[in-house]
Amino acid sequence: MDINPKDIKILHIDSNHPTLWKQLEEVGFTNEADYTSTKEEIEAKIAGYNGIVIRSRFKIDKAFIDKATNLQFIARVGAGLESIDCEYAEQKNIHLIAAPEGNRNAVGEQALGMLLSLFNNLNKADREIREGKWIRESNRGYELDGKTVGIIGYGNMGKSFAKKLRGFDVEVLCYDITPTVGDNNAKQVSLEELQRKADVVSLHTPWTPETDKMVNTAFINAFTKPFWLINTARGKSVVTEDLVTALKSKKVLGAGLDVLEYEKLSFETLFTENNIPEAFQYLLDSENVLLSPHIAGWTFESHVKLAQVIVDKIKAIYFGDAPDTEEEKRVTGIGGIFFKAEDPAGLREWYKKHLGINTDNYGWSFWWKDKNGDDGMTQWSPFATDTDYFEPSQKQFMQNLRVHNLDNVLQKLKEEGITIVGEPQAYDYGKFGWILDPEGNKIELWEPIDKAFI
């Protein structure tokens, strides 16, 4: 696309971290702010804009979209898009941008914080001490160790929470309507299995017709054991009255609720005094309930990260992907070193005996953890001198480098005139492609199949 950024007019209707505005301005986009006009007033002028940046101020419905005749994108500085009529916007070819990558870490940490706080009565005990009470026995806590945690909805937020649980000796299960989303951190199971095994349930589903009022009496009673409930997803997915019934019967042992059925779509208000539903009053009076005002994703760090994700995604619409995001990096590490040997079997034995390296028929797989704590592997392998695997290189060794996205990397290398050797191949442990460096060294490029090999 041949774009003059000046021609792209962006209306910001909520304030965000200043970096968002600053970076869009640096690109050259025309930015305007209107944080106070009503929805109707904004509707009246929206035809003059190509992009809108919103947090949660109002709903973007059909009527709004119909008036936004020049809109090319709607960017929501947050995770969910339920305040936007996405289907209609897509019909009108409007790009939809959200930024779950920006607050998923915050949500994972807060869900864990709520759970540990509930298990150890921290908020209750703190309140008691402030009132001059030193009560130990009734504040005896529970341990997470040995429990089963069930995550419902295994997307950005669910995965982040599962990652945080890695240091605990817990079994983590996930249930999701999308197949094969489970990973090393959570085993995907049916809802029935999760309900049979879970001691803790954490909701991480979007608010949809299927998840609206999902956690009701029938859902709760389908659990075999009493359980703790954490909800950092959407308040309307839990029927508060039914939760209260379950808290009373001790089927639900405690609840950490960052979101409430009663909060407004803007997430900015709850309700005025004198208007407190009975079920909510029960939560307010319960010592095993922990409440927070929709702040799981609301950290100093996520404020910046959300803004950055939005900037990157808006730029990507007009100019293609940013070249050096983590995702786009060409090589992400050393995958292995392969070399020719007169007697590979003898050499493997020598390394085993004298260097204590646990070699097998393929050499040695060295396992390690990256800075995020994810498993990684580097392969060391001697090959027979007559191997054709290093061809056309005449060298005695071959490097293997890990890449994030093999197809992208090969495409870019091809455009840069680099010699590509043969056709890319897919195996059980990932995709492979081969290139030559200027000295004729053959480099194997490896896109590992899953996190375990990254």
Ligand X SMILES: NC(=O)c1ccc[n+]([C@@H]2O[C@H](COP(=O)([O-])OP(=O)(O)OC[C@H]3O[C@@H](n4cnc5c(N)ncnc54)[C@H](O)[C@@H]3O)[C@@H](O)[C@H]2O)c1
- From residue 71, give the alpha-carbon distance in Å to each of 2, 45, 90: 18, 11, 11
Biggest distance spanned by C-alpha atoms of the chain: 86
- Find out whether 304 and 19 touch, Cβ atoms under 8 Å: yes
Closer to ligand X at the Cβ: 302 or 379? 302
Is 301 among the residues that bind ligand X (CB under 6 A)? no
CB distance 102 to 308 below 8 Å: yes
Q: How far apart are CB 326 and ligand X at their closest, in Å?
A: 18
Q: Which is nearer to ligand X, 163 or 234 (CB)?
A: 234
CA distances from 52 to 12, 64, 237 (A): 6, 12, 28
**195 is an interface residue for ligand X by CB under 6 A:** no
Smallest distance from the beta carbon of 136 to ligand X, in angstroms? Answer: 33
- Shortest Å distance, C-beta 168 to ligand X: 21
Q: If binding means CB under 6 A, how many residues of this protein chain bind ligand X?
A: 33
Binder of ligand X out of 5, 80, 113, 424 (CB under 6 A): 80
Which residues in the 213-272 window bind ligand X by CB under 6 A? 232-234, 258-259
Tell me how far, at minimum, the Cβ of 82 lies from ligand X, in Å.
Answer: 7
Does 172 engage in binding with ligand X (CB under 6 A)?
no
Q: Which CB atom, from 204 or from 442, has the smaller least distance to ligand X?
A: 204
176 binds ligand X (CB under 6 A): yes
For ligand X, give the closer residue by CB, 234 or 303.
234
List the one residue from 44, 47, 135, 177 that touches ligand X (CB under 6 A).
177
Of these, 36, 178, 358, 394, which contacts ligand X (CB under 6 A)? Answer: 178
Contact flag: residue 206 with ligand X (CB under 6 A): yes
Binds ligand X by CB under 6 A, chosen from 32, 210, 370, 450: 210
Name the segment binding ligand X (CB under 6 A); options: 17-25, 29-37, 199-207, 305-313: 199-207
DSSP 451: G
Stretch that binds ligand X, among 177-185, 372-380, 419-427, 444-452 (CB under 6 A): 177-185
x/- site string to ligand X, residues 276 to 295, per CB under 6 A?
------------------x-
* Least distance between ligand X and beta carbon 155 (Å): 2
Contact 258, 114 (CB under 8 A): yes
Closest to ligand X by CB, 302 vs 400, is 302
How far apart are the C-alpha atoms of 173 and 151, rounded to whole Å? 6
Q: Which of 72, 211, 245, 379 binds ligand X (CB under 6 A)?
A: 211
Extract the tokens encoding 165: 């649980």
From the list 39-47, 139-147, 175-183, 392-400, the region that binds ligand X by CB under 6 A is 175-183
Question: CA-CA-CA-CA torsion for 336, 340, 346, 351, nearest 10 degrees?
Answer: -40
Q: How far is CA 396 from CA 207, 342, 390, 436, 442, in A?
A: 58, 11, 8, 14, 10
The string of DSSP letters for 77-106 reads: SSS--TTB-HHHHHHTT-EEE--HHHHHHH
Q: Is the dihedral of CA 340, 343, 345, 348 positive or negative?
A: negative
Nearest residue to ligand X by CB is 155
Q: Which residues contact 209 (CB under 8 A, 6 or more apart)?
A: none
CA atoms within 13 A on the CB side of 46: 26
**Does residue 297 interact with ligand X by CB under 6 A?**
yes
Tally the residues of the chain: 454
Nearer to ligand X among residue 103 and residue 359 (C-beta): 103
If one counts every other C-beta atom within 10 angstroms of the C-beta of residue 344, the result is 20
Site for ligand X in 1-40 (CB under 6 A): none
The verdict on 194 binding ligand X (CB under 6 A) reads no
- The arrangement of strands across the sheet holding 9-12 comes to 30-33, 9-12, 51-54, 73-76, 95-97
Integer Cα distance of 126 and 210 in angstroms: 38
Instruction: Round to whole Å and give the CA distance between 240 and 278.
Output: 10
Instruction: Report the site for ligand X in 144-163 (rule: CB under 6 A).
Output: 152-158
> Which of 12, 234 has the CB closer to ligand X?
234
Q: Which residues bind ligand X (CB under 6 A)?
A: 79-80, 100, 103, 107, 152-158, 175-178, 181, 204-208, 210-211, 232-234, 258-259, 294, 296-298
